[in-house]
Amino acid sequence: MTVTLPVGAALGLRPFLMRLHLYAGLFAAPFILIAALSGTLYVLTPPLENWVYRDALYTDGGGTPLPLSTQAEAARAAVGPDLRLHAVRPASAPGQTSRFLFADPSLGESQHRTIFVDPASLEVRGDLTTYGTSGVLPLRMQIDLFHRSLMLGDWGRLYSELAASWLWISVIGGVVMWSWRRRVAVPRLSQMRAPQRRARLHMLIGLWLSVGLIFLSATGLTWSQYAGGRIDALRNALGWITPSVSLSLDAAAPEATHSEHMDHTQHGMMAEPALPQDWAQSLDAVAQVAVAGGLDSPYLELRLPRPNQAWLVREYDRSYPTQVDTVAVDPAMLEITSRADFAEFPLIAKLVRWGIDIHMGEMFGTANRILMAVIGLGVSLMIGYGYAIWWRKRPPAGSPVQTLTRSWSRMSPGARVAAVAVALALGWALPVMGASLAAFVAIDLLRWQMAG
């Protein structure tokens, strides 16, 4: 669709949007590039991870699996009596190991010491640190932590939030500028000189990937610290919450709610459950109750209860069709007391779940990973072309200073007010973007005054 503006409005708005697009590119592109390359590496490494940790993940497939309680005792013997069992993931298929996740205070947030046990021989096949709801192993855990926070903790998470906040703005600005220029006849790429070809490819890659880039930006923001909190508050206000089970054994207790990015970042911060005296013997019975209650995915996780609470049993298969049903099981009565079935989730909750799984390359397997890798490599190439364009077209020394503030001042009064209103609204909704925008507007104002 072509954006048509009155001549006066276009003359004032175009320089402003072009300058804003340039600033956003120069300022945010390095952060976007880091996120794109690390995200690409993350989605491409599952086969490598499976190979690196094959001894822990796989067995020879022989023998009959022993009860979970017996497997759990073998895992407990491997770690000693001091660590508390957090969750159990039974082997999902013949030839695979069972995982026993222990809470280790020496590990980081959302990390567990995981013992991999052969279900038949009870041989401990591995003792590794796993991370997050997906249970990624050390190789991808390091990539994930770098992608998410540059391994700098909460302060590092500001980088990925900044990248996600500016990505969609840069893409939409580029699409609008392309829409203004699309009526101009251009030669074929093969007939262009190198600088023209770089500019054309920068624009075309941005157009081809625009939908995917906006999708990655939006889903990435759901995990962010500050914008993610705003998104959760909006969903709660509109009733777009993701249902979850109530673990309380008090029938009058309210049902809990759930945020998808909490699984990714925060569940390790919660107080770990107390260890019931009969925890091992309960595993098989609780698993049988959950399966009888409709949890038919081979990817099951059993989380031990706190005092006076139920067991939590959930599916964690994020591939399509999604299987993430959850039930709470009374440890004494061995009956389901609460459930949250994905089929009954509100549409928005389903879309959020699917969006996150596609973002992580999990929903459609290899095809999903290839698509995410193409987008990640494409945006990296686009950023490279963008910097080459800027370097070639940068004003020579002594040229008049061109600033965003000067471009804004030449817009119509109504357009200036609208620009400020939009900036304030986005700054509130996306606090990291708002703070960064305020910073480079302050620098821009200083340059404008010094040049004036």
Render pLDDT for 18-51 as a digit per residue (tens, 0 to 9).
888 988 888 899 999 999 999 999 999 999 999 9
Higher local confidence (pLDDT), 156 or 399? 156
For residue 7 the two structure tokens come to: 């001549």
Angle at 296 between CA 290 and CA 300, to 5 degrees: 65
- Per-residue pLDDT band at 271 (split at 50, 70, 90): very low
In this prediction the pTM is 0.88
d(CA 252, CA 271): 23
d(CA 238, CA 236): 5
Ordered by start, the domain boundaries in the chain are: 7-44+152-221+364-451, 57-146, 229-359
**4 pLDDT exceeds 80?**
no
- Per-residue pLDDT band at 196 (split at 50, 70, 90): confident
State how far the alpha carbon of 175 is from the alpha carbons of 21, 192, 318, 362, 415, in Å: 11, 21, 33, 29, 20
Q: What is the pLDDT of residue 444?
A: 85
What pairs with residue 117 in β-bridges?
98, 124
- Per-residue pLDDT band at 9 (split at 50, 70, 90): very low
For residue 199 the two structure tokens come to: 């500019």
Q: What is the pLDDT of residue 184?
A: 62
Angle at 323 between CA 330 and CA 260, to 5 degrees: 85
- Per-residue pLDDT band at 219 (split at 50, 70, 90): very high
Q: What is the pLDDT of residue 299?
A: 96
Q: Are 220 and 363 in contact (CB under 8 A)?
A: no
| Residues whose CB falls within 8 Å of the CB of residue 351, separated by 6 or more in sequence, listed in order | none
Phi-psi domain of 131 (left: phi exceeds 0; alpha: psi -120 through 50; beta: other): beta
DSSP 344: G
- Per-residue pLDDT band at 185 (split at 50, 70, 90): low
Q: Which of 396, 413, 406, 415 is nearest to 448 (CA)?
A: 406
Question: Of 92-101, 145-154, 405-414, where does mean pLDDT reach its minimum?
Answer: 405-414
Per-residue pLDDT, averaged over 359-370, amounts to 95
Q: Are 322 and 342 in contact (CB under 8 A)?
A: yes
Q: Which of 76, 77, 61 is nearest to 121 (CA)?
A: 61
DSSP 273: P
> How many residues appear in the chain?
452
Q: What sign does the CA torsion over 67, 70, 76, 78 have?
A: negative
Residue with token string 């200036």: 416
| Residues whose CB falls within 8 Å of the CB of residue 88, separated by 6 or more in sequence, listed in order | 68, 72, 98, 99, 100, 101, 283, 301, 302
The helix (run of H) or strand (run of E) holding residue 307 is: none
